[in-house]
């Protein structure tokens, strides 16, 4: 079995806590390794390494920092299969799905390659008599990322490139459920020439999280995970005087208008609802067809596709969906399906008790389709984070829009229609951060920024893109005047253009 250690100052270390947690292969249910769990002492070691490295790294010209990103880009492209394999073995997602994760991570690395242009600042001459003003963005110092299990390589690579390209040093606390990808990401950075201490990896649970949130030398925290933990991270981090961005959960709706191409909408829902076993914060988990006729047509198209969906281990080339991450996740998802049925939802396709020959011990949940879901049901109010698609029938577009706007989450949404006016109005009025028009998973490209609204995010900044530059830097403005040899005397008024 593998033993996953921390990486501090470019060296593998066991740390001092002595605590461990099992790592499982979700397809078989068997333990495949262990991960060492750090706490305050390991965080102290990582912060000390990062703080020391910050002195020289922050003074490194942005163009030289960008060269590390260019080399990382080439290495990541060359080793994409290795990273995807590491993801699949511990997360369970199919190889193609894992490769897609690597591709989206690569886009952020490419954006970070252009960091010199994004840090160049502004200059204004003669803002007053003989006075010039310039502004620049400076790195914060030691920053940290706390990342989730569902994208064990992509989310760290949404954070790290932008954080270190802007001159910070970084501590990564990845999910302990699938930790090997994080260590592999570090290996790629090291191969790209990243100096020791600029990136450190500390594995752990709540003890490690709290140590990061409380440490006086950690200047900022980036978090992606569930809403209750996001709120906890935000509140505790802010109370400690840190800059915090905390991305939480979601309940993403897709409206299907009567004029929509039903075949296209059904295909979109299959990928958006069941890709990565529904373990995505941008998964479409609620379909909202407008009118009974539209709903009936949609169910007619969806049901056989969900029933026939190929489910299997990551190395099955025919599989489009793998297992869920843990036995606990499987039990929770199946419990929510049962609760939905008890509360009146109609189970059209039932994924409970799914078994796969030769993988009977795996954490399998089959694709599940629920119809006649209502806003009062638990399956609607809670984020299931599994392969469950709920159909909530709406009588009108206005009813569907109100449904989305009244939900506590506002991460992503979509509308499928041929009506440009309806689509334009939806994009303007829906209270959600990321909107798709005939696009089921509207994850922005790397040169835009990712972020939801309402209880899907805590903090003022989205992740990656231009928002990341602002989050990982602080603005400094310098106003200067050089002596002209004429003494003008003391000035007691506020400087102005006069």
From CA 85, how far away is CA 98, in angstroms rounded?
Answer: 8
pLDDT at residue 1, rounded to an integer: 85
* Domains identified in the chain and CATH numbers: 2-248+456-478 (3.40.605.10), 252-437 (3.40.309.10)
From CA 243, how far away is CA 140, in angstroms rounded?
Answer: 9
How far lies 269's CA from each of 65, 263, 323, 476, in Å?
Answer: 41, 10, 19, 47
Q: CB neighbours (10 Å) of residue 478?
A: 11
Sheet containing strand 122-128, strands side by side? 122-128, 131-139, 473-481
pLDDT digits (tens, 9 = 90+) for 154-200: 999 999 999 999 999 999 999 999 999 999 999 999 999 999 999 99
Element (H, E) at 410: strand 409-410
User: Are 219 and 143 within 8 A, CB to CB?
Assistant: yes
Element (H, E) at 229: helix 227-239
DSSP 465: H
Beta bridge partners of 458: 246
From CA 105, how far away is CA 112, in angstroms rounded?
Answer: 11
Query: Which residue's entry shows tokens 């511990």?
Result: 90
pLDDT at residue 498, rounded to an integer: 54
pLDDT at residue 288, rounded to an integer: 98
If 0-12 CB within 10 Å is exposed, 13-18 middle and 19+ buried, where does residue 216 land? Answer: exposed
Asked about 238 being catalytic, the answer comes back as no
From CA 224, how far away is CA 406, in angstroms rounded?
Answer: 23
From CA 145, how far away is CA 458, in angstroms rounded?
Answer: 15
Q: Which of 113, 134, 238, 281 is catalytic?
A: 281
pLDDT at residue 153, rounded to an integer: 98
Question: In whole angstroms, what separates CA 221 from the centre of its chain?
Answer: 14
Question: How many CA within 13 A on the CB side of residue 467?
Answer: 19
Q: By three-state DSSP, how is residue 346 classified?
A: strand
Q: By three-state DSSP, how is residue 99 classified?
A: helix
Structure tokens at 161: 């490139």
pLDDT at residue 465, rounded to an integer: 95
> Which residue ranges of the chain lie beneath pLDDT 70?
485-488, 494-498
Q: Integer distance in angstroms from the first to the last C-alpha of the chain?
A: 74
Q: CB neighbours (10 Å) of residue 254?
A: 27
pLDDT digits (tens, 9 = 90+) for 371-404: 999 999 999 999 999 999 999 999 999 999 999 9
- Interhelix angle 80-91/180-191, nearest 10 degrees: 160
Nearest to 194 by CA among 220, 223, 170: 170
Question: How many CA within 13 A on the CB side of residue 173?
Answer: 28
pLDDT at residue 490, rounded to an integer: 73
From CA 357, how far away is CA 361, in angstroms rounded?
Answer: 10
pTM of the predicted model as reported, rounded to 2 decimal places: 0.95
């Amino acid at each position: 079995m593998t033993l996953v250690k921390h990486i501090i100052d470019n060296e593998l270390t066991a740390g001092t806590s002595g605590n461990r947690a099992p790592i499982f292969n979700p397809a078989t249910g068997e333990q495949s390794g262990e991960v060492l769990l750090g706490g305050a002492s390991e965080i102290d070691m990582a912060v000390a390494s990062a703080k020391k490295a910050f002195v020289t790294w922050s003074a490194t010209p942005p163009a030289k920092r960008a060269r590390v990103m260019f080399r990382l880009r080439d290495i990541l492209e060359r080793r994409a299969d290795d990273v995807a394999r590491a993801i699949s073995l511990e997360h369970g997602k199919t190889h193609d799905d894992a490769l897609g994760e690597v591709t989206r991570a690569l886009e952020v690395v490419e954006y970070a390659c252009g960091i010199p242009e994004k840090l160049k600042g502004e200059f204004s001459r003669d803002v007053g008599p003989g006075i010039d003003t310039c502004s620049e963005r400076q790195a914060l110092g030691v920053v940290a990322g706390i990342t989730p299990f569902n994208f064990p390589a992509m989310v760290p690579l949404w954070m790290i490139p932008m954080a270190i390209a802007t001159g910070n040093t970084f501590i990564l606390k990845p999910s302990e459920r699938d930790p090997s990808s994080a260590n592999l990401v570090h290996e790629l950075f090291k191969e790209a020439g990243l100096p020791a201490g600029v990136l450190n990896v500390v594995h752990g649970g709540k003890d490690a999280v709290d140590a990061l949130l409380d440490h006086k030398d950690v200047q900022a925290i980036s978090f992606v995970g569930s809403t209750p933990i996001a709120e906890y991270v935000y509140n505790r981090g802010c109370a400690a005087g840190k800059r915090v961005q905390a991305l939480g959960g979601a309940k993403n709706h897709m409206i299907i208008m009567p004029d929509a191409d039903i075949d296209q909408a059904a295909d979109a829902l299959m990928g958006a609802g069941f890709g990565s076993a529904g373990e995505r914060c941008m998964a479409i988990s609620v379909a909202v067809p407008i009118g009974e006729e539209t709903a009936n047509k949609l169910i007619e198209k969806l049901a056989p596709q969900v029933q026939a969906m190929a489910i299997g281990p990551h190395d099955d080339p025919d599989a489009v969906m793998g297992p869920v991450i843990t036995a606990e996740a499987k039990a929770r998802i199946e419990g929510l399906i049962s609760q939905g049925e008890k509360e009146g939802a109609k189970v059209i396709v039932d994924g409970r008790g799914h078994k796969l020959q030769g993988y009977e011990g795996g954490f399998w949940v089959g694709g599940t389709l629920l119809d006649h879901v209502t806003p009062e049901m638990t399956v609607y109010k809670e984020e299931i984070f599994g392969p469950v698609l709920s159909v909530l029938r709406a009588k009108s577009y206005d009813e569907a829009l109100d449904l989305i706007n009244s939900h506590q989450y506002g991460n992503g949404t979509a509308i499928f229609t041929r009506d440009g006016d309806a689509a334009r109005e939806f994009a303007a009025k829906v209270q959600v951060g990321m909107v798709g028009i005939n696009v089921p998973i509207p994850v922005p490209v790397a040169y835009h920024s990712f972020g939801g609204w309402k209880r899907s995010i805590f903090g003022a900044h989205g992740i990656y893109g231009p928002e990341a530059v602002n989050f990982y830097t602080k603005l400094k403005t310098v106003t200067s005047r050089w002596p002209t040899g004429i003494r003008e005397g003391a000035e007691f008024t506020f400087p102005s253009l006069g």
